[in-house]
Amino acid sequence: MYRFDRETYERRMVWFLQARFGLFVHFGLYALPARGEWVRSVERMDEAAYRPYFEQFEARDYDPRAWARAAKAAGMGYAVLTAKHHDGFCLFDSALTDYKSTNTPCGRDLVREFLDAFRAEGLRVGLYYSLLDWHHPDYPHYGDWHHPLRDDPSAGNEGRDFGRYLDYMHGQVRELCTHYGKLDLMWFDFSYGEMTGPKWRAAELADMVRSLQPGIILDNRLEASGEGFGSLYECAPTPWHGDFVTPEKMIPPEGLRDREGRPLYWESCVTMNNNWGYARDDHYFKPAGLLVKKLVECVSRGGNMILNVGPTETGAFPPESEAILAGIAWWMERNRESVVGCGEAGFPKPDWGRITRRGDTLYLHVYENALGPLPVPMIRREQIRSVTCLADGRDVPVSSSWVHSDYPDICFLDLGPDPVLPDETDTVLKVELA
């Protein structure tokens, strides 16, 4: 049985903390109605109403090789695909159900294609698996918090055997862990109410996954949802503890620590618009520049960001998502060094932006120019060995202007005569400390 060991834990987290940026892909039957991944629950759709999407599922434009190239260009180090979401539909060729992509007009094992494509680009790979299942007859229906038939007394739970469902769910996770090669990450989703930890036979499940996939990283949603830090935070890790915390659609206001003050590793899961699955009428997309700043914010607080794309009903990335990834790629091509492998700098947030750090190198992410030389009060002049603009390598001198002579204890940098920053999204200054 798995037992927590701090040294082993820290070793398996190294690649995750190095990567800092990942891709999430939510794809399934819900892409066809195009009203988000919770459409069946929100609209109380029964099996008959949802069935046409299964019969129409083709995914003719599903091209994970193109996605992997785009993710790599955007500086992402890993990617996670929804192998099964809450509706119970599987994107893999499970022997335990007929409710899978290989039985639709698509006829393909989409999980295998995804994993092969991303591994070929040198990215780490993971799978999302929902603990919920609105399709399985033994999953609670009436009275459940989320099931589409939760308010329908005729969908009573008499004769439903939750233990039988757990056997099925554990069996599918075993398939994913044995038939698809090395997995770097498993993203379970999610616990709620009494449906948490032991209810999922989580000790058995986590032990199986870690035994079949040595070194794999698990999220914390066997014991939490998007809220809640989990047992590592409490410094009393359960056998099913998460290796990282999963704040959803937000960034913690400061770096996370456990109750004894050690860094608590986390990953903010973020949507490009307001939905995880494809939503045709949701045009509230976040600009690439905003997402760059939010990625830097995560890293400056010791966290990761995993950015979601919800492919369309044909399996293609929406044009808006492609444009956003391309915009992030443009910035990362010039500034990747200030994100990947970096973390907290140990200084308060400056007025003009953020700071990330790798060893004795600071990366000053300047969002707003100063009126005159840029104050960097966190650094003493004698500490500086060199300062360069990361994007083009040009030297940035320490200022000796008279205008800040009233502040002899503060170091200032001379960004030149142009009041407009070279990169209005985020101009990165690389500071090598002596």
Phi/psi of residue 282, nearest 5 degrees: -95, 100
Over 90: is that where the pLDDT of 375 sits? yes
3-state helix, strand, coil in the chain (%, to 5): 30, 20, 50
Residue 190: asked if its preceding bond is cis (omega within 30°), the reply is: yes
Task: Report yes or no: 255 and 303 within 8 Å, Cβ to Cβ.
Answer: yes
Residues 281 and 385 placed together within one structural domain of the fold:
no
Q: What is the Cα–Cα distance from 232 to 31, expressed in whole angstroms?
A: 35
Over 90: is that where the pLDDT of 272 sits? yes
15 within some domain: yes
Domain count, the chain: 2
Residues 237 and 379 placed together within one structural domain of the fold:
no
Q: Which of 297, 312, 338 is the last residue of a domain?
A: 338
CA distances from 370 to 322, 323, 354, 394, 432 (A): 34, 31, 14, 19, 21
Task: Kindly report the pTM of this predicted structure.
Answer: 0.98
CATH code of the domain containing 404:
2.60.40
Over 90: is that where the pLDDT of 406 sits? yes
Over 90: is that where the pLDDT of 19 sits? yes
CATH code of the domain containing 111:
3.20.20.80
Q: What is the Cα–Cα distance from 136 to 2, expressed in whole angstroms?
A: 29
Q: What is the Cα–Cα distance from 327 to 288, expressed in whole angstroms?
A: 5
Residues 358 and 326 placed together within one structural domain of the fold:
no
Q: Which of 338, 371, 395 is the last residue of a domain?
A: 338
Report the DSSP pairing between strands 374-375 and 412-413. antiparallel
240 within some domain: yes
Residues 127 and 187 placed together within one structural domain of the fold:
yes
pLDDT range class, residue 139, cuts 50, 70, 90? very high
30 within some domain: yes
Residues 306 and 368 placed together within one structural domain of the fold:
no
267 within some domain: yes
Over 90: is that where the pLDDT of 1 sits? no
Q: Which of 338, 367, 395 is the last residue of a domain?
A: 338
Residues 144 and 201 placed together within one structural domain of the fold:
yes
343 within some domain: no
1 within some domain: no
| pLDDT for res 270 | 98
The per-residue pLDDT for range 298-340, each reduced to its tens digit, is: 999 999 999 999 999 999 999 999 999 999 999 999 999 999 9
Residues 236 and 154 placed together within one structural domain of the fold:
yes
120 within some domain: yes
| pLDDT for res 431 | 98
Nearest to 71 by CA among 17, 118, 16: 118
Q: What is the Cα–Cα distance from 152 to 162, expressed in whole angstroms?
A: 19
Within 10 A of 2 (CB to CB), how many other CB atoms are there?
A: 16
Domain range spanning residue 215?
6-338
345 within some domain: no
